[in-house]
Amino acid sequence: MTESPGGGLRPRPAAAAPASEPKLLRVSDAEREEVVSLLSAACAEGRLTLEEMGGRVSAAYAAVTRADLEPLTVDLPTTASTLPAAAPVAAGGKTKKKRFVTVMGELKRGVGRLTSETAVVTVMGSSTIDLRNALIEGPEIRLHMYLMMGEQVVIVPEGVDVEVSGFVFMGEKRVDVEEVRPRPGVPRLEIRVFGMMGEIRIHTA
User: pLDDT tens, 115-142?
Assistant: 888 899 999 999 999 998 888 877 788 9
pLDDT value for 45: 78
Pairing state between β 113-114 and 9-10: unpaired
Segment 21-57, tens digit of pLDDT: 777 889 998 898 888 888 888 887 778 888 888 888 8
Of the pLDDT bands very low, low, confident and very high (cuts 50, 70, 90), residue 5 is low
Segment 56-67, tens digit of pLDDT: 888 888 899 999
Nearest partner of 102 among 169, 147, 156, judged by Cα = 147
From residue 102, alpha-carbon distances to 34, 97, 111, 124, 148 in Å are: 42, 17, 15, 8, 10
From residue 176, alpha-carbon distances to 8, 130, 173 in Å are: 78, 15, 10
Spatial separation of the C-alpha atoms in residues 71 and 59, rounded to whole Å: 10
17 pLDDT more than 60: no
pLDDT value for 92: 46
110 pLDDT more than 90: no
The model scores a pTM over 0.85: no
